[in-house]
């Protein structure tokens, strides 16, 4: 809802471009890794063509995997192009990057856009403030040409950060965010990147998809304009979107060892590539952590010995009648040779304090197991 892409173009045909995503493993001291993880966790029917058609505009772009916690990729802004690493985030709708006018520590450690070096840039007289679980930015709106791989959008409105909160935004390995949620979440009066891809007919299908891998190498991708079916096994299971803001669907239950531990009355689930963990109501997450980690170490209920993974239960999520399994080696992350970290986080009760309905966020812990397809033409999500 808030969060690298080594782009390498591989032309498969005149109409399809594949850009593999690379997993980036960074070695750090265990205490440092834990601090980073804790900060990351705080943020917290037209038919699709099964085979590429000669006229279809389809592009697949490589993403980098940072510690199984965040995936990011490369885009270009301006003429001539200035390159940035951005988080392709299904939990937000705005595009922004740091500006050369930003002197915050979190800006100085990242690439910054210089409007004076782009012949196609236009200033827009509007200030903005965007807040995320991972921090906030204040800035202004601008308009310029955006390029994602071989896809080019003209007159794209985007944010230029002039002041950013320090902390996590200072340490993340990407420069900005590219939101892929619905227009209702975007800054009022602006059109998100995906909508312009669609409106300017840069892509022929109003669809994008993610394959997020846990493996190193060129293995994770984001796809625009269709689906490369080599990235999933079996049939895509479609789930209707229940509210066109986040990519939000209905979920029936969450269970462990045959016992329902969440979503007992049915609930809403937000499918979010920008969140690393599985996030739910604090009281339910606390109960789950007690169940899977009855003897926490370091007085931290999320920290456990890695040897315990082999005895931990499988998590079962029921969505639209289909049971999706999440094995323990996916919901537990290794932060050192012996110490592991459970990727559950509380706090969704703060999303809509006035609502009594239960909400969960299915982040990268879930999306590393299941390829996800986002179909704006039919307001549905596909999982495979």
Q: Active-site residues: which are they? A: 89, 272
Query: CA–CA separation, 29 vs 158, rounded Å?
Result: 36
Check residue 99 and report its DSSP letter.
B
Length of the chain: 384
**Residue 201: left (phi > 0), alpha (psi -120 to 50), or beta?**
left
Candidates 38, 43, 6, 21; CA nearest to 274 is 43
Say which residues have a Cβ less than 8 Å from residue 164's Cβ, sequence separation at least 6. Answer: 98, 102, 104, 106, 107, 135, 136, 137, 138, 170
Residue 156 near residue 202 (C-beta atoms within 8 A): no
Calpha distance 9→23 (Å, rounded): 17
The SS3 call for residue 80 is coil
Number of helical (H) and strand (E) elements in the chain, helices listed first: 7, 29
Q: Which residues does 150 contact at the CB level (< 8 Å), separation at least 6?
A: 9, 17, 59
Site of tokens 């007992």: 264
- Residue 125 CB neighbour total at 10 angstroms: 6
**CA 44/CA 38 separation, integer angstroms:** 10
Which residue reads 């197991």 in tokens?
369
**Sheet strands side by side (includes 247-251):** 243-244, 247-251, 267-271, 359-362, 278-280, 344-346
- How far, in Å, CA of 176 to CA of 97, rounded? 4
């Amino acid at each position: 809802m808030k969060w690298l892409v080594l782009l390498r173009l591989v032309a498969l045909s005149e109409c399809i471009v594949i850009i593999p995503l690379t997993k980036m493993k960074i070695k750090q001291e265990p205490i440092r890794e834990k601090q980073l993880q804790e900060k990351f966790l705080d943020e917290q029917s037209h038919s699709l063509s099964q085979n590429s058609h000669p006229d279809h505009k389809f592009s697949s772009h490589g993403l980098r995997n940072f510690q199984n916690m965040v995936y990011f990729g490369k885009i270009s802004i301006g003429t001539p192009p200035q390159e940035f690493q951005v988080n392709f985030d299904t939990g937000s709708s705005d595009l922004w990057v740091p500006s050369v006018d930003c002197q915050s520590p979190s800006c100085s450690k990242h690439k910054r856009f210089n409007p004076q070096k782009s012949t196609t840039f236009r200033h827009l007289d509007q200030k903005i403030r965007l807040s995320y679980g991972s921090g906030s930015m204040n800035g202004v709106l601008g308009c310029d040409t955006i390029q994602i791989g071989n896809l080019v959008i003209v007159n794209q409105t985007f944010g230029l950060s002039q002041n950013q909160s320090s902390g996590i935004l200072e340490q993340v390995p990407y420069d900005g965010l590219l939101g892929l949620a619905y227009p209702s979440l975007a800054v009022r009066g602006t059109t998100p990147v995906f909508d312009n891809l669609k409106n300017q007919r840069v892509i022929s299908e109003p669809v994008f998809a993610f394959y997020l891998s846990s493996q190193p190498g060129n293995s994770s991708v984001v796809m625009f304009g269709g689906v490369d079916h080599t990235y999933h096994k079996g049939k895509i299971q479609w789930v209707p979107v229940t509210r066109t803001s986040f990519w939000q669907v209905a979920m029936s239950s969450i269970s462990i060892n045959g016992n329902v531990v969440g979503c007992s009355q049915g609930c809403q689930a937000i499918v979010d590539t920008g969140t690393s963990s599985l996030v739910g109501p604090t009281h339910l997450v606390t109960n789950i952590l007690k169940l899977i980690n009855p003897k926490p170490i370091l007085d931290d209920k999320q920290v456990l010995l890695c040897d315990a993974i082999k005895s931990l239960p499988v998590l079962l999520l029921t969505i639209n009648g289909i049971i999706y399994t999440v094995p323990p080696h996916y919901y537990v992350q290794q932060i050192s040779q012996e110490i592991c970290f459970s990727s559950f986080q509380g706090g969704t009760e703060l999303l809509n304090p006035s609502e009594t309905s239960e909400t969960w966020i299915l982040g990268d812990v879930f999306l590393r197991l299941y390829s996800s397809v986002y179909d704006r033409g039919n307001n549905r999500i596909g999982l495979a």
